[in-house]
Structure 1
Amino acid sequence: MHNRQFTAQEQQTLRELIMLRRDIRGNNFLSDPVSAEQIHELLTAAALGPSVGFSQPWEFVVIRDNATKQRVHQDYQIETERAAGEFTTEKQAIYHQLKLEGILEAPVNIAVFYKPTTGPVLGQNSMAEAGEYSVVCAIQNMWLMARSMNLGIGWVSIINPETIAEILNAPKDRKLVAYLCVGHVKEFYSVPELETLKWEPRKPIDSFAFQEGFPESL
């Protein structure tokens, strides 16, 4: 594996994995079981993510118990009603039609936590957030590996992190970064659902990528 070089076909496969990765909603999950071996494969991919100072500051709680899922889902219902009021009337109509999570439908849920490192971390002194960013990199690894395995992942962010940490008996210093729903899916859409619904338009690259600095017009 030393100095492994990749072919154009392998690059194309990665490009397709990135292009066709999807955030899966509850109405698209199947009840087919996800094996322990498959979850281990996802966690292995996560553990290979880059981390500041090689700190590997991630912890994962794998949840299959329906009672635990029900408690998390109750919190989601509270938070989703609270969030609805922040959108315009037009978007609220779309918001209430969306199935934004798959907590109960997905066979497996995975809560991802950031574990602060005691003592200084190489590269994290000036940007403390780099530890949490490292956890996000691990999650992206999981997401792409899942897609390569034809598994879906949905990221549920409409939850109260403190409530979820309490439900899962997390130590006080842990911070919830993501709550993921994992399972087989009915179909992988060719275009992200929110893009299809015109919730937001896709931004062209030249609207967010600049050369040598930000333009004065911003």
Structure 2
Amino acid sequence: MGNKAYSEADRDAVYRVIAQRRDMRHFSQEPLDPEILQRLFKVAHQAPSVGLMQPWRFLRITDRTLREDICELVEAERQETADALGQRRDEFLELKVEGIRDCAEVVVAALPDGREKHVFGRRTLPEMDLASLSCAIQNMWLAARAEGIGLGWVSLFDPEMLAELLKMPVDSKPVAILCIGHVDRFYEQPMLVEERWTEAAPLDEFIFENYWPEG
């Protein structure tokens, strides 16, 4: 059959970039080489998608006023989230949850309208369009880390308000605000672990065999 595996060095590089990927919030404001951004879009477009529907759309935000408007939407949701957290409100407000003003590039990842026409692979699982977009974002994330570039996924926003702000068509949906740019350092651990907000659970708690465990 032949050895179809990558070389040991290439394999190690793949596993290393996965292990060292971080959801970044701190950026250096250094401009991003347009060729790097284009490479990130290219690998996003190479992601798998159910029925080859390619449901990803990316809006590059270059207008500074529009970027500030997006910041205000995120800040409004940050306050709402803090209030919903009850006793952890003040602790949450101390966390840095986005880098929209500081990063080199802001990109909104979205699902388009007209997705209902894609039935292949979605008849019983219509959310597979979201899964496909998530794969595209993950491709960007890993490629950005390999390039030495930070990427942060911001989900603190009202999707209807952001869609209206971006003049998106009815039935389309913004899913992520992506902050992309140079960083002074990558977090040694996920930022929420470094900030002692939470701890990652061990792998064996997530793997079952044959049937869902009782209790």
Identify whether the pair has TM-score above 0.5, normalized to the shorter chain. yes
Which runs of 5 or more structure 1 residues have no equivalent in the other structure?
Answer: none
Which runs of 5 or more structure 2 residues have no equivalent in the other structure?
Answer: none
- Matched residue, 1:60: 58
**Residue of 92, 109, 112 corresponding to 2:109:** 112
- Within a 5 Å distance, the mapping from 1:67-216 to structure 2 comes to 67-89=65-87, 91-115=88-112, 116-117=114-115, 119-216=117-214
- Matched residue, 1:16: 16
- Matched residue, 1:34: 32
**Which residue identity does 2:170 align to in structure 1?**
K
* Partners of 1:64 and 1:107 within 8 A in 2: no
RMSD of aligned Cα (Å): 1.4
In structure 1, C-alpha distance between the alignment counterparts of 2:10 and 2:109, rounded to whole Å: 29
* Partners of 2:159 and 2:173 within 8 A in 1: yes
Farther-moved stretch of structure 1 (125-134 vs 109-118):
109-118
Deviations 1:115-157 (A, max 9, x none): 2435243111110000111001100000000000111111111
In structure 2, C-alpha distance between the alignment counterparts of 1:198 and 1:75, rounded to whole Å: 26
In structure 2, C-alpha distance between the alignment counterparts of 1:120 and 1:69, rounded to whole Å: 32
Note the C-alpha offset of 1:101. 0.4
Normalized against structure 1, the TM-score is what? 0.92
SS in 1 for 2:84: coil
In structure 1, C-alpha distance between the alignment counterparts of 2:44 and 2:71, rounded to whole Å: 25
In structure 2, C-alpha distance between the alignment counterparts of 1:166 and 1:88, rounded to whole Å: 30
**Which residue identity does 1:95 align to in structure 2?**
F
Note the C-alpha offset of 1:4. 5.7
**Which residue identity does 2:190 align to in structure 1?**
P
Note the C-alpha offset of 1:193. 1.4
* Partners of 1:161 and 1:176 within 8 A in 2: yes
Note the C-alpha offset of 1:77. 1.3
Number of aligned residue pairs: 212
Deviations 1:42-67 (A, max 9, x none): 01010011100011011100112211
**Which residue identity does 1:167 align to in structure 2?**
L
